[in-house]
Amino acid sequence: MEPHTMRHIIALLCLTLSPMGIAASLQLPDRAETVLVNGKASQQQSSVKLDLSMPDNMQQIAFRYQARYRDNGSQNDFVSDVVILRFQASEQNYQLTLPTINSASRANQFNDQPTITLTDNTGKSIVFTQDKLMKSGLQIGRNFAQEIALYNESGAIAAIVSAKRITSKTTTAAPVALVPVAKTTEVTASNNTADTQVNKTEDITQAEVSRMLDYWYQKANPNTQAEFKAKIN
């Protein structure tokens, strides 16, 4: 049995046998790295506990998709932009499914318009809204919690309102300048999209380099991060 399959089984058993139980959860593939859960920074996890105390039970999960694929005889690492997933949850478990990345064209296609599927515990497709959390300039040392707070204040397509914000006396926020995202989608089911050939331009190459630098910076310890910043400066 594959190790990741065993981890999924253990996670599901824990959800079932836990004395306290978990009212709602989202199961993610191993290749998905959670970044934020309902506005809070999150470590990578395969099962996310959903918060049904959120206004209208609306959940917001931000994640990256990581994959390895072979192109022209060499192995390539792919780290996607940060994808924001927003959906209304109830007391059940949900499953996130991502497409296979096995070529540069599929990797670029996913970053251009992420194709994801969200289902409930009966296999029914769930309505969701998706967007991307983008930032211009250097991607090293991003403060995702701060970025998503600004994103949510802007009222963007996949924004949520926290319970704390509802009870706050201050309800008006200053306008926030955000990097525009080319495409956002409200989805009811998965759509199969044919492969499209994408030319490898310099811009695409540099974007990929930026994502990889950010990925390894987040994996480094504080000392290594400090040394890397010193080299940049």
DSSP-derived 3-state class of residue 47: strand
Q: Which residues contact 190 (CB under 8 A, 6 or more apart)?
A: 97, 115, 116, 117, 125
Question: Structure tokens of 38?
Answer: 């309902």
DSSP-derived 3-state class of residue 60: strand
Cross-strand bridge partners of residue 48 = 26
Query: CA–CA separation, 30 vs 19, rounded Å?
Result: 26
Tens of pLDDT along the chain (233 residues) come to 555 555 555 555 544 444 344 489 999 998 899 999 999 998 877 899 999 999 999 999 999 999 999 888 889 999 999 999 999 999 999 999 999 999 999 999 999 999 999 999 999 999 999 999 998 776 678 899 999 999 999 999 999 987 565 544 444 444 444 444 444 445 544 444 444 333 433 444 555 556 666 666 666 766 777 666 666 65
pTM over 0.85: no
